[in-house]
Chains A and B, each alone.
Chain A
């Protein structure tokens, strides 16, 4: 079946004329129509546009163009702007909004001849770790539909895991690509801040947000990262010479590699089954010649608090633009300010309003120094600690999520527990470091993800390490139990 093939395998088949782009697109659209009622990965499916794009991509292949993404379907998180295709951020406040422009990543995908298959579900405005906070419906895990997909990019992770798309893009502010990748058993990669343009990504926390790819293996995730990366003058935080070069992805040997294990990320918060799975992987990699050592990164203990001050502070400013005047629905009040407040009060979901409230409070007079500025100092301390550690080691390794996929609603009564799920992923966002989640085994028949984090700008090296580890742990990836 075409839907079971990876993006790299599909590209080979297309070049060999063993299938057409239209056949690939139709196979994925058929599978979405059968399975997505159960899983809720997509908020919108662009069947008509995808089939039109299939014709033009086929023509490019027939004329000898060689981009490996030409003709490959890609699903996009619904906070990435797509011209002519609704972009809702899974929020009522953007219901019906149709952007007039493409995000730079979408323009790049189109330049490569990739096919935009549809827009995927997320926690509203990417605020959440379970994909249950969508204003429309929760996304369900392909390993057990009664369990959460992880978030916030849960729809993009499920699209790839359930073989509804070979590739997808998400966004990662505190782990929103890596967490659902771990819970769904696929690869999710957050590059160094600035290597993929954020132009057209609806902003949540601008100093932390980064677009990242999902694939069923490292090769595919690297392929997509390479295609959408690179300098963009439309994003003033885009780094010069930032294209991610994956031409040398498969050349690294594990022997002699130095990997640090921060003891702060192997504490009591980690489920025993998750810890056992990671330790088995460590044992196997030690046999392959990897040199593991414990690293001391005490600022990690303050990562969650730091994140839950900085991210809401930035969000409270970024989300001020949603006023019901220039885009989105509108609720009437008694005057201008009341109009805006009524629109925001009625159309933002609870979690979004909570974070706006937290951020507004943390930035308000009298509390700025105690919360926001203090958090930014801890962020500075964390960067120093990590950069010092990276002088001695190639990367650090930890679980991606402290737990396997939890039951839908299980953590609703314990919002702090839900926020602690991001414990292992948050440091990479605070430091701007590249970080990747890789399937490394199973606990309770549910996937466990391993998180690898490397020094800033070391994206190519981190992908090489992940690829080498993937080869040494061939049991990491399995198809989920669905037809």
Chain B
């Protein structure tokens, strides 16, 4: 396994994927910190893992089903109570489809 160091271009790409607007100073700081962490992560390189079953979670539960029953949820006022911008009972977001 080859663990690479991360370039500034990759830092920008990851920030875009993560929906984080970062200024130039932050990008430089994150490049340094990410590279330090990736360097630390090299300790798992080369471990013999054949025959080991991966474990995405430790729960013994499988296929947890809920009964198909009506349950009351939040009312309209509750749903919108914490939104920063609303109008006529709707969330307001910028236009994403041009006319």
Contact = CB atoms under 8 A, between A and B. Distances in A.
A371 B18 contact: no
A195 to B, nearest CB: 11
A371 B42 CA distance: 10
A345 B21 contact: yes
A432 B93 contact: no
Interface in A332-349: 333, 335-342, 344-346, 348
Interface string A189-216: 0000110000000000001000000000
Contacts of A371: 41
A391 interface: no
A325 B83 CA distance: 6
Contacts of A341: 16, 19-21
A416 B81 contact: no
Contact of B59 (A239, A345, A370): A239
A354 B18 CA distance: 11
B54 A376 contact: yes
The winner among B26, B36, B41, B83 for most chain A CB atoms within 10 A is B41
B8 interface: no
B44 A374 contact: yes
Main secondary structure of the interface of B (DSSP, over half): loop
Contacts, number: 159
Contact of A309 (B10, B22, B41, B47): B41
B13 to A, nearest CB: 8
B54 A356 contact: no
Given A373-B54, A377-B52, A353 B22 contact: yes
A456 B58 contact: yes
Given A301-B43, A309-B41, A325 B91 contact: yes
Nearest to B57: A207
B52 A364 contact: no
A98 interface: yes
Interface in A237-274: 237, 239
A357 interface: yes
Contacts of A305: 40-41, 43-44
A456 B16 CA distance: 40
Given A325-B93, A357-B15, A431-B58, A344 B37 contact: no
A29 B32 CA distance: 45
Contacts of A233: 66
Contacts of A329: 84
B21 A342 contact: yes
Interface of B: 1-3, 6, 10-11, 14-22, 26, 29-30, 33-34, 36-37, 40-41, 43-44, 47, 49, 52-61, 64, 66, 74, 78-79, 81-85, 91, 93-96
7 contacts: A194-B61, A309-B41, A316-B18, A325-B91, A344-B19, A358-B37, A361-B14
